[in-house]
Amino acid sequence: MAFALFPGDTALLLAILVIGACTLLGMATDGLRMGMLLISSILAWIMAPLIGNWIPSVLLPANPLWREAGAGAIPAFLVMSLLFFVGGHFLHKKITFEIKDKWDDYKHDRWGNIDPLLGRICGGLLGIWFFLLIGGTAMPLGYLTAKVRSDHPSNDPLGYQLSSRLYRDFSSLGLHRPVRLLDPAEKEYYLAADIAALSYHNFGTNNLNHVNRFRRRLLGYPGLVDASYNPHIRGLTHVWTTNTFFMGLYSRTNLSQLLSNPQLYAAWRDEALKAQLAHVNLVDFKTFLEKGKSDRYNAALLQQQGRSPILGCWELDTESTFDQFKSMYPKMNDREMKLLDNYLVELADQMSLSFSDGFCYLEGRGFPRRALGVKANVERPNITPNDFLPSIPPRNFTDFPQLITYGSWEKKSDGSYLTHFKWGKAESNVTIQLFPTRIMVSFESFRGEKYVFKRQKL
């Protein structure tokens, strides 16, 4: 599909074939029949979306994405067109008999002169209508395949390649806007396709640090936090070598393979997840992914809505957290401070604390299961007692971030927030204080040790 004579050649060739064939058909038959065909196809197109949901699943594409994009209207249109064609055939016979029986010779002669011209005109109009209809039908798949360009697009099915080529050629000729009027997909589909393309191209890089930064931005959007920690979304976006969907993104595999992934199918069937995603403002979400700023979740607007400015994603601030521990444990020597500093730097790698309207989620490569400032004779009896001996590295440390714990939060009368975390055998009440650019998280069961988080760096 790479060969091209000039930009737009496929769309132009399609126009010549379709409009030419319909015009020839109009020349071969009468104007009345062609006019009825034109009207019938328009009526079928109007009615198709209304009955698209009633089409048997055997006539629909296997991939549920295309059903959501309005693919059910295509077989509905074909069925309705066939029914109208059969009905039109009998109506045409009846009208023809009426004309022969009731019109005089003068009217017959005039109709005989007009009928061939009307056939060619209606044939041409029908061809233009079908040409635009084909473009509109190919638009949803073509838009997505053109945006999500894999390293080997020739490996995609022929339908994907043709749709992508048609979309690009219609755009080259400036016809993508008029054919969108005949597009079965909703406006939200194209916003979702833009977001999918942004994700595909940002995950498909050789720089794993960039992948992790984009992943934090993607899952840190305040309106998406709860959905981000749905098990299906976590399964799709976690950076595991055994995660076939993520590795497909990372290796820029073909769209057809990504869309047929069983993990994506399972997520698509999760009604609770679909309900969560339905509340996401796609326009603002797209802007957030592109620029790192949200118009809907700025502090002023949240305050007007009576919502907490704590919403969103926060990252561990190692320097401020280190200062809190120095203040709490002033007897640390140089060796212990060096150990603590190394520990916090390692702990902060890929660690985040995200807040939705009702829940908060702690994610990272690991988190301590005890207070860091403990008596050595409790944790390490073979070492000389000290007031501060952090355990390095954190227990259950993994190469990639995972959900450590989560809990619902409530706002207290003094303006702070309270939640309860439990991870492994550890658990603690947690108090969160909000400052202009930081939050301070105190773990009650861990001697009240404090961790400081800053707004996610975008």
pLDDT tens per residue, range 348-360: 888 899 999 889 9
Residue 68 lies in a domain: yes
Confidence of residue 388 (pLDDT cuts 50, 70, 90): low
Residue 261 lies in a domain: yes
Residue 122 lies in a domain: yes
Residues 260 and 319 in one domain: no
Confidence of residue 99 (pLDDT cuts 50, 70, 90): low
Is there a contact between 132 and 38 (Cβ–Cβ < 8 Å)? Answer: no
Residues 278 and 393 in one domain: no
Find how far residue 277's CA is from the centre of its chain. Answer: 9
Residue 362 lies in a domain: yes
Residues 100 and 180 in one domain: yes
Residue 285 lies in a domain: yes
**Considering the chain, what is the average pLDDT of its residues?**
83
Interior/surface letters 357-382, b for 16+ CB within 10 angstroms, e for the rest: eeebbbbbbbbbebbbbbeeeeeeee
Residues 319 and 370 in one domain: yes
Q: Which of 268, 297, 326 is the last residue of a domain?
A: 297
pLDDT of 376 over the 70 cut: no
What was the pLDDT predicted at 94? 78
Is there a contact between 35 and 92 (Cβ–Cβ < 8 Å)? Answer: no
Residues 222 and 179 in one domain: no
Please give the biggest Cα pair distance in the chain.
Answer: 121
Confidence of residue 51 (pLDDT cuts 50, 70, 90): confident
Residues in the chain: 458
What was the pLDDT predicted at 359? 93
Higher pLDDT, 292 or 52: 292
Q: How would you list the strands of the sheet with 438-443, edge to edge?
A: 402-408, 359-364, 352-355, 312-316, 449-455, 438-443, 426-434, 417-423, 410-411
Find how far residue 234's CA is from the centre of its chain. Answer: 14
Confidence of residue 444 (pLDDT cuts 50, 70, 90): very high
Tokens describing residue 97: 């008999």
Residues 156 and 212 in one domain: no
What was the pLDDT predicted at 179? 86
Is there a contact between 257 and 210 (Cβ–Cβ < 8 Å)? Answer: no
Residues 160 and 246 in one domain: no
Sorted by sequence, the CB contacts under 8 Å of residue 445 that are 6+ apart come out as: 371, 426, 427, 428, 429
Is there a contact between 352 and 315 (Cβ–Cβ < 8 Å)? Answer: yes
Does an H or E element contain 423, and which? strand 417-423
Residues 327 and 439 in one domain: yes
Residue 303 lies in a domain: no
Tokens describing residue 21: 């064939």
Residues 84 and 110 in one domain: yes
Residues 329 and 224 in one domain: no
Residues 64 and 14 in one domain: yes
Confidence of residue 128 (pLDDT cuts 50, 70, 90): very high
Q: Specify the number of domains making up the chain.
A: 3
pLDDT of 390 over the 60 cut: no
Q: Which of 237, 264, 297 is the last residue of a domain?
A: 297
Single-letter code of the amino acid located at 174: G
Residues 318 and 275 in one domain: no
Phi, psi of 112 (to 5 degrees): -65, -30
Does an H or E element contain 158, and which? helix 158-172
Give the CATH number, domain containing residue 427: 2.40.128
Q: Which of 297, 323, 350 is the last residue of a domain?
A: 297
Residue 2 lies in a domain: no
Left (φ > 0), alpha (ψ -120 to 50) or beta: where does 400 sit?
Answer: beta
63-96 tens-digit pLDDT: 666 766 667 778 888 888 888 888 887 887 777 7
Confidence of residue 108 (pLDDT cuts 50, 70, 90): low
pLDDT of 117 over the 90 cut: no
What was the pLDDT predicted at 384? 41
CA angle, 231 as apex, 201 and 400 as ends, to 5°?
A: 60
What was the pLDDT predicted at 161? 86
Sorted by sequence, the CB contacts under 8 Å of residue 290 that are 6+ apart come out as: 198
Return the minimum-mean-pLDDT range out of 76-90, 212-226, 227-241, 318-332: 227-241
Single-letter code of the amino acid located at 346: E
Q: Containing domain of residue 129, as a range?
A: 9-185
Left (φ > 0), alpha (ψ -120 to 50) or beta: where does 8 sit?
Answer: left
What was the pLDDT predicted at 119? 86
| Spatial CA neighbour of 455 closest among 345, 361, 355, 365 | 355
Is there a contact between 178 and 14 (Cβ–Cβ < 8 Å)? Answer: no
Confidence of residue 188 (pLDDT cuts 50, 70, 90): confident
Residue 246 lies in a domain: yes
Sorted by sequence, the CB contacts under 8 Å of residue 361 that are 6+ apart come out as: 225, 228, 229, 353, 354, 355, 403, 405, 406
What was the pLDDT predicted at 381? 44
Range 271-292 average pLDDT: 88
